[in-house]
């Protein structure tokens, strides 16, 4: 089967690699344009481009698909199927219906829940116990097409979005492989999504980062792990930005005062605890003060003793 693949970030690399490993004829890869990154704004190719070039697959990087830029390329490649995974561009109707088998998307949620751009982060932010991967037959809507296969996995209590991202990418490769095997056998049975069960996972921004310490410990824990590695939960200490990379829920430390306020810091032996709005505590395990690298909280405390009664600021 001749396949065109469309994807951009690391999540999409695993499905692309699986297509190659399964022996499919990947005749072209569409990905987004190279972008400047890092302190020196070095022009950097997306991970899918790097993977495609390593396999000698032609790469196409149109800056937009709004005006039919993809069609001349597809007419030359003549794919039987287009596979999409986190491409980041909307496909026009003519692209969706061009291949014999249409377009199949690999989506990192259990549809119809968490349609949209950031399903991996949002399931953690919302404290979901499980998530998964769904392959679907794409249509003109946003993640609204008929479902083909779904596979679920549990989410760890302290698992971050970055860690879950890696597990779902691997699962996505497996689910895609099984989907295409069934497609070639004529044994796929598409199922229409129940729109009444739909939820949406919008794009994240740095506006999601500030922590409100009056919220519950569970909510804040979900925020810290759901925004790791980006855009990262944050607070301020003495008016200076302070990033929070990892935490865990704990019992109240022995040194905790009975009248502690929301956001108040309690230190123990190489440990940094914070009282939350529901009276429960979080232990911050990885932090990053302004102008420093990410570090274990214990390392931070050795160089930055915190006076009793000190509080993180609320937004």
Domain boundary among 166, 201, 236: 201
Q: 313 in a domain, yes or no?
A: no
Domain C-terminal end among 142, 166, 201:
201
* Per-residue pLDDT tens digits for 210-223: 999 999 999 999 99
39: pLDDT strictly greater than 80: no
For residues 186 and 83, membership in a common domain is answered with yes
pLDDT at position 222 is: 98
Same domain, 216 and 127: no
Residues 173 and 169: their CA atoms lie apart, in Å, by: 7
CATH number for the domain that contains residue 102: 3.40.50.170
Query: Based on the domain organization, do 152 and 222 belong to the same domain?
Result: no
Q: Same structural domain for residues 250 and 167? A: no
197 and 213 together in one domain: no
DSSP secondary structure of 170-191: HHHHHHHHHHHHHHHHT----B
Task: Give the pLDDT band (50/70/90) at residue 42.
Answer: confident
Q: What is the mean pLDDT of residues 273-284?
A: 98
Asked whether residue 235 is assigned to any structural domain, the reply reads yes
Domain with 275, as residue range(s), is 209-303
* Mean pLDDT, residues 20-49: 93
What pLDDT digit, counting tens, does each position of 153-184 carry?
A: 999 999 999 999 999 999 999 999 999 999 99
Tell me 229's DSSP state. Answer: T
Query: Are both 167 and 234 inside the same structural domain?
Result: no
Token representation of residue 241: 């930005």
Return mean pLDDT, the chain: 96
Structure tokens at 227: 């925004």
User: What's the pLDDT band for 247 if we cut at 50, 70, 90?
Assistant: very high
Rounded CA gap, 304 and 140, in Å?
Answer: 54
Model confidence pLDDT, tens digit, residues 15-24: 999 999 999 9
**159 lies in the same domain as 229:** no
The answer to the question of residue 311 being in a domain is: no
Look at residue 41 in the predicted model and tell me its pLDDT: 82
Mean pLDDT of the 121-143 span: 97
Indicate whether 250 and 269 sit together in one domain: yes
Band (188; pLDDT cuts 50, 70, 90): very high
pLDDT band for position 315 (cuts 50, 70, 90)? confident
Give the number of domains in the chain: 2
Partner residues linked to 134 by β-bridges: 107, 150
Using DSSP, how many helices (H) and how many strands (E) does the chain show?
8, 17
pLDDT at 275 over 90: yes
Tokens 């030359």 correspond to what residue? Answer: 76
Assess whether 231 and 112 both reside in one domain: no
Percent of the chain with pLDDT over 70: 100
Q: Is 308 contained in some domain?
A: no
Handedness of CA 134, 7, 124, 18 (dihedral sign): positive
What count of other Cβ atoms lies within 10 Å of the Cβ of residue 44? Answer: 13
Given a cut of 80, is residue 54 above it in pLDDT? yes
H or E stretch at 237: strand 233-237
> Which of the four pLDDT bands, split at 50, 70 and 90, describes residue 270?
confident
- At residue 297, does pLDDT exceed 90? yes
Confidence check: pLDDT of 125 > 90? yes
Q: Are residues 12 and 84 in the same domain?
A: yes
Asked whether residue 32 is domain-assigned, the answer is yes
Q: Give the residue from 150, 176, 201 where a domain finishes.
A: 201
């Amino acid at each position: 089967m001749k396949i065109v693949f469309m994807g951009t970030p690391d999540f999409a690399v695993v499905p692309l690699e699986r297509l190659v490993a399964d022996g499919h004829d990947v005749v072209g890869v569409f990905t987004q344009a190279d972008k400047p990154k890092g302190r020196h704004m070095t022009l950097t190719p997306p991970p899918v481009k790097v993977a495609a070039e390593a396999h000698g697959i032609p790469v196409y990087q149109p800056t937009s698909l709004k005006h039919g830029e993809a069609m001349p390329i597809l007419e030359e490649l003549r794919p039987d199927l287009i596979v999409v995974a986190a491409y980041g561009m909307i496909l026009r109707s003519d692209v969706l219906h061009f291949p014999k088998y249409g377009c199949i998307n690999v989506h990192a949620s259990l549809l119809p829940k968490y349609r949209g751009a950031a399903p991996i982060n949002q399931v953690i932010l919302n404290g979901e116990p499980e998530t998964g991967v769904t392959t679907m037959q794409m249509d003109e809507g946003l993640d609204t097409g008929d479902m083909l296969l779904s596979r679920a996995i549990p989410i760890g209590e302290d698992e971050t979005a970055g860690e879950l991202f890696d597990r779902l990418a691997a699962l996505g490769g497996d689910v895609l492989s099984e989907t295409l095997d069934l497609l070639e056998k004529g044994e796929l049975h598409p199922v229409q999504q129940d729109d009444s069960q739909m939820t949406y996972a919008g794009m994240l921004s740095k506006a999601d980062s500030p922590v409100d310490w009056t919220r519950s410990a569970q909510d804040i824990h979900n925020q810290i792990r759901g925004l790791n590695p980006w855009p990262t939960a944050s607070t301020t200490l003495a008016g200076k930005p302070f990033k929070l990379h990892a935490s865990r829920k704990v019992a109240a430390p022995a040194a905790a005062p009975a009248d502690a306020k929301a956001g108040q810091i309690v230190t123990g032996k190489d440990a940094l605890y914070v009282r939350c709005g529901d009276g429960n505590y979080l232990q911050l395990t990885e932090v990053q003060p302004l102008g420093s690298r990410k570090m274990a909280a214990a390392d931070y405390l050795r160089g930055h003793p915190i006076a009793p009664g000190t509080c993180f600021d609320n937004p």
